[in-house]
Amino acid sequence: MIVEGAGSAAEVNLRARDIANMGFAEVVDCPVIIVADIDRGGVFAHLVGTLELLSPSEQARVKGFVINRFRGDMSLLESGLTWLEERTGKPVLGVLPYLHGLYLDAEDALPKGQEAKTNAKLRVIAPAYPRISNHNDLDPLRFHPDVDFRFVGPHDAVPSCDLIVLPGSKAVQADLNWLRTMGWEEAIRRHLRYGGKVIGICGGLQMLGTKLNDPLGLEGAPGSAPGLGLLDYETTLAAEKNLENVSGMLTLPGTPAIAGYRIHMGVTHGPAMQRPSTRLAETPEGAISEDGQILATYCHGLFDQPEALNALLEWAGHKPSASFDPNERRERDLDRLADAVEQHMDLARLAEWLPALRTPKETL
């Protein structure tokens, strides 16, 4: 098992409540490797500074360093690697190269930049609201050769496009207020008046309705707030979170198959749900507007299946000219990354620290 930290291993202000980094490593008694991104600059300061801020017991469990995303002449780095090992007494286990264009599922951080494409035909945008979640739902659009996709950040003008996607949110009412402040509500209505399409996923589905109810105060003060009012339903937040893997089909022509998951605390009901966007295990789910311009669903992974992706792009206004399988592309890039790790990491030395033989008591 590989345990991935979150943020920095040396966030001293959060150390007392740390359950994701060195605090966790101490509890489960696992070896630690510190990985630093050289592309950001200051890699030696990052590594030495992090180590210096750890307690003596935490420093002892750090077995070595890995430098990631290196591009350039390796001979220019070697003197720094020697200095780092002499300064810390810890080995450098590898220097991984910068791999361009990797299709890897991100977690919290939004991807930087746009994919270079020469023949993109469909323009798709999504708001990068402050509490955005599950934005990897949109990765198949980012990497599809026919799609010009971009996240639109705060205070950026909302550009003209064919499709707007409202992704998930960790705090729907707060992000909906942000949308209104940034001018998105009028931009979405203008987009629809000109015949554009809109997709809302999970929190985006909830925003499209008439009302957001939070009687328990799960996302802030108890109460209700108006939604965008583009679909006739309302959502009430409940204490128990819905979490399940799902599969089924879109109700678009051809009924293409979809597979993904649902993770939400809202219960949504209203007349618009009588025109479902999907059928999951034969159960109607989501909604499509009467004019066919708006599609909403709780299903994450909406674009992951090639047939569903093609159907949604065609619904949005462009019949794909290229075959694109997000899952195949993701697997190919994972293999590419694994090959780079195998080539550039000292796996034999790494294996020395893996607890291959432990008694049940030691494992606990």
Secondary structure letter of residue 195 according to DSSP: T
**Whether residue 74 is found in the same domain as residue 219:** no
Residue 277 lies in a domain: yes
**Whether residue 269 is found in the same domain as residue 189:** yes
Between CA 14 and CA 21, with CA 19 as vertex, the angle to 5 degrees is: 75
Residue 106 lies in a domain: no
Per-residue model confidence (pLDDT) at position 125? 97
269 is catalytic: no
Collapsing DSSP states into helix, strand and coil, what is residue 273?
helix
**Whether residue 194 is found in the same domain as residue 246:** yes
Per-residue model confidence (pLDDT) at position 124? 97
Alpha carbons 64 and 111: distance in angstroms, whole number:
28
155 is catalytic: no
Phi and psi at residue 119, to the nearest 5°: -125, 30
Which candidate in 46, 135, 300, 344 is catalytic? 300
Q: At 215, list the tokens.
A: 């009687």
The residue range of the domain holding 196 is 122-315
- Splitting the chain (364 residues) into consecutive groups of 10 residues, what average pLDDT does each group show? 83 85 91 94 96 95 96 95 97 96 79 77 96 94 94 95 97 96 98 98 98 93 96 95 94 96 94 97 94 98 96 95 90 96 93 64 45
**Whether residue 30 is found in the same domain as residue 65:** yes
Q: Structural domain tally of the chain?
A: 2
Residue 321 lies in a domain: no
**Whether residue 73 is found in the same domain as residue 134:** no
Secondary structure letter of residue 163 according to DSSP: E
**Whether residue 46 is found in the same domain as residue 129:** no
Residue closest to 126 by CA, chosen among 70, 168, 84:
168
**Whether residue 300 is found in the same domain as residue 357:** no
Q: pLDDT tens digits for 298-326?
A: 999 999 999 999 999 999 999 998 789 99
Residue 5 lies in a domain: no
Per-residue model confidence (pLDDT) at position 278? 97
Residue closest to 266 by CA, chosen among 343, 208, 332:
208
Residue 234 lies in a domain: yes
Residue 105 lies in a domain: no
Residue 295 lies in a domain: yes
Which candidate in 202, 299, 318, 344 is catalytic? 202
| Long-range contacts of 253-258, Cβ-Cβ distance < 8 Å, separation of 24 or more | 253/311, 254/307, 254/311, 256/305, 256/307, 256/308, 256/310, 256/311, 257/305, 257/307, 257/308, 258/299, 258/301, 258/302, 258/304, 258/305, 258/308
The residue behind tokens 């996607």 is 165
Residue 44 lies in a domain: yes
**Whether residue 134 is found in the same domain as residue 271:** yes
**Whether residue 68 is found in the same domain as residue 159:** no
> Model's pTM, two decimal places?
0.86
Which residues, in sequence order, are bridge partners of residue 85?
none
Per-residue model confidence (pLDDT) at position 149? 95
Secondary structure letter of residue 138 according to DSSP: G
**Whether residue 75 is found in the same domain as residue 27:** yes
**Whether residue 344 is found in the same domain as residue 302:** no
The CATH code of the domain that includes 257 is: 3.40.50.880
Could you tell me whether strands 278-280 and 283-285 are parallel, antiparallel, or unpaired per DSSP bridges?
antiparallel
**Whether residue 191 is found in the same domain as residue 302:** yes
- Burial readout 292-315 (b: 16 or more C-beta within 10 A, e: otherwise): ebbbbbbbbbbbbbbebbbbbbbb
